[in-house]
A = this chain, B = another copy of it.
């Protein structure tokens, strides 16, 4: 966490060839980013905004690195949201079989989640992160000033992951996260004063990743809300295209409610948490609409989740109570359908 991006970058890049990927929208809101890169001698590749994390973009980044003479000791600096850090991380992980990279997240979602922990990837064959690699960034530099101009929708998306992290950590953190949504809905710019929340959320993630970098076990707790969340995200993308779709964190927030419903039914999670989350979602998060006609398709997407050992088995991370997650919980199609019904009732959709 720093207010001085220049000093933080200078220390990391000294004596190494450096290259940067920059989201065009970040570049136009923060002209100091490109001039900083110029002063530090970093070659910039400006990615059209919003950046697509697909194979075509990856080919463009590899070509940029190759044409500009990047070597195995070069560093790639990813300046943008989760799409940029996922794409850039994957390209760094695979360029000449792997070079170092640094993330400078410019969205709340990236700052508290995507830019941390080394899960990189691109979407492929209609599936999220179907192709990717595990490679931990050498540093993630969070500069809250870069978040000042974020629209409320993007802050909400980040809050989806903040709420998730709260639920897997403790009741107190879950409650705090839900309250922050209210405060931010009144004055979105207050996000720059919430360095404490960003750091705490990032720290929870990093401590989990440190204990399980390759997602063999513990790390699956971070998947809380994501099994249904990814399905909502894909559905929304198919309906509205990449531009109009619900954001990742927004879809995760709705996916959290599905996971809480199943947790209540199967593990006795106190229903007060369902009421609290549903109330926040109804007030602040526009719902991702689905009907029972969508269930077969939503279940099919869930069955493709990378954490499933076979396509016939759908596994959720659930909660006994906030701070007490349970991973690899096998849930039947029937139970998921019921949870999707109950979620619609809660959200009045």
- Residues of chain A at the chain B interface (Cβ within 8 Å): 17, 55, 59, 62-63, 66-67, 69, 71-73, 90, 93-98, 119-121, 124-125, 127, 129-134, 214-215, 304, 306-311
Contact = CB atoms under 8 A, between A and B. Distances in A.
Nearest to A122: B94
Given A66-B124, A94-B133, 5 more contacts: A67-B125, A94-B132, A96-B132, A97-B120, A97-B132
Contact of A94 (B71, B131, B214, B308): B131
A95 B309 contact: no
A306 B97 contact: yes
Nearest to A59: B55
B62 A131 contact: yes
7 contacts: A55-B55, A63-B124, A66-B124, A73-B309, A94-B133, A96-B132, A97-B306
Contact of A130 (B95, B121, B127, B133): B95
A214 B98 CA distance: 10
Nearest to A129: B97
A17 B71 CA distance: 37
A120 B127 CA distance: 24
A241 to B, nearest CB: 21
A63 B98 contact: no
B55 A306 contact: no
B66 A306 contact: no
A111 B1 CA distance: 49
Nearest to A134: B97
A133 B91 CA distance: 11
B306 A96 contact: yes
B119 A97 contact: yes
Given A62-B125, A71-B311, A133 B133 contact: yes
A71 B121 contact: no
A17 B127 CA distance: 20
Closest 6 CB pairs of A and B: A66-B125, A96-B306, A97-B132, A69-B311, A73-B309, A94-B131
B98 A134 contact: yes
Contacts of A93: 133
A130 B62 contact: yes
A147 to B, nearest CB: 28
Contacts of A71: 306, 308-311
A98 to B, nearest CB: 7
Contacts of A96: 129-132, 306
A13 to B, nearest CB: 14
A121 B93 CA distance: 12
A76 to B, nearest CB: 14
A215 B98 CA distance: 11
A277 B230 CA distance: 59
